[in-house]
Chain A
Amino acid sequence: MIVVAVPVKDLVNAKRRLMPVLTPEERTALARAMLRDVLRALRGAALDAVWVVTRDTEVRALAQASRSVGSPQIRNRGTLGGNLGTASPAGDTLPVLAVHDAEVLLAAAGGRARVLRWNEFQTGVKRTAIAPDELIIGARWRVLLGPQSFSKVGTRSAMVISVASLCLALDPVERQVRVALGSVAPTVIRAPDAEALAAEALARAGAWDEPAAPPPDGTAEAFAERVAAAATPIDDVRGTARYRRRAVEVLARRALSWAIDERADEALVS
């Protein structure tokens, strides 16, 4: 088995020798472009796997969600494509794709290819828009540079199908708060009303310009209430609708609080 491991520093700390001439954003973009070139070159090589090893937080929610899937045996075989194809409302990586507004890449024999947004791809419980002759090639999204997290509630801490799951990410560039929910509707969903409320609260507090500025008391609670209102869960063997709505509310409150605290901490450090 031939594997290439690519170590990648935190992108923001890459290319520090160029600090006098490039802004942090430019250095991050340069490091990302170089990584993309490396990965593109490796894609042409006859390798069994490519491992990108990084502490960079751009893919943290995806790493957290992937880490929570099934057991070691399942994780050793599982892929993002498998999660997409199964299209379970409880698919652990799907809220991460939804938060990033990911696109799913499909290809068919004869070179036909098309791109679907995550919510065009998943059409219902275990239903997708994939045609019988199509394969999932991958997924792509614009990276979000703010804090992000994935969390889920289940009956055990391993080998568990989530009763409710949630991915939250801040996008300081577009000044958005993004949140996606799993296991509380026929497909993974976003909660736009909650997103708007939180983004506005952060804007009013000036927190997009000054990360340490605290949003008004009760912001996380009001956000969580709107997240719960977006959910349309069912009763089933894993949990009742009422429990699920409450669970997703708690996850939402925690996730927004973590993200706000993380931005404030970063501001203190820098």
Chain B
Amino acid sequence: MLIRVNVNGDSREVDVWPGASLLSVLREELNLPGSKNACEQGECGSCSVWLDGDLVCSCLVLAAQAHEREVRTIESLAEGEGLHPVQEAFLEAGAVQCGFCTPGLVVAVTDLLQRDPSPDELTVREALSGNLCRCTGYQKIFEAVSLAAQRKREGVW
């Protein structure tokens, strides 16, 4: 079936199998492999994207359900060679180890800080409860969130 989706600001038309997930179409058809394919059941958050502005697991959205809607992926954050401030914060805080969970976490952190630039620790933990990291143990990730939040409050982004 033919679907039309606005992906990162561009209108794209793609012929998809009706049972295909949005994640597989992003990665396999639209050349956007930043969203990672890990658990495929909404547990790990590695595939987090925005669908009409809502944070969702793209593995749990049918590509067909994105027809005539707006999808934003991790690829929309950095401009040119410069990193997005949340990505920069992850880098500086050392919040990246193997890197597989990082795109989903960066998307989830950006989603949180856009709504709430001064989240308390519980709010951060709750907001990131759907993103699993099996390497770093989260402490450096929380440090990256603090850094990115501080810069958000300072008006850097």
B residues sitting closer than 8 Å to A (CB atoms) are: 42-43, 45, 48, 51-57, 60-61, 69-70, 108, 111, 125-127, 129-131
Contact = CB atoms under 8 A, between A and B. Distances in A.
A158 B125 contact: yes
Contact of A72 (B69, B70, B127): B127
Nearest to A1: B52
How would you classify the secondary structure of chain B's contact residues: helix, strand, loop or mixed?
mixed
Given A76-B54, A77-B56, A158 B61 contact: no
Contacts of A73: 42, 45, 48, 55-57, 60, 108, 130
A1 B71 CA distance: 12
A156 B126 CA distance: 11
Contacts of A158: 125-126, 129-130
B77 to A, nearest CB: 17
Nearest to B59: A73
Could you say which of B60, B125, B129 has the most chain A C-beta atoms within 10 Å of its C-beta? B129
A interface bracket (residues with beta carbon within 8 Å of B):
10 to 19
Could you say which of A71, A77, A159 has the most chain B C-beta atoms within 10 Å of its C-beta? A71
A76 B112 CA distance: 14
A70 interface: yes
Interface in A24-70: 48, 70
A1 B55 contact: no
A173 interface: no
Nearest to A77: B56
Contact of B42 (A1, A48, A74, A156): A74
A77 B61 CA distance: 8
A70 B55 contact: no
B129 A76 contact: no
A254 to B, nearest CB: 21
5 contacts: A71-B42, A73-B45, A73-B57, A74-B130, A158-B129
A107 B130 CA distance: 33
B52 A70 contact: no
A32 to B, nearest CB: 29
A158 B53 CA distance: 22
Contact of A48 (B52, B55, B61, B126): B52
Given A48-B52, A74-B60, 11 more contacts: A72-B111, A73-B42, A73-B48, A73-B56, A74-B57, A76-B56, A77-B57, A156-B129, A158-B129, A159-B129, A159-B130
A34 B111 CA distance: 36
A159 B60 CA distance: 16
Contacts of B52: 1, 48
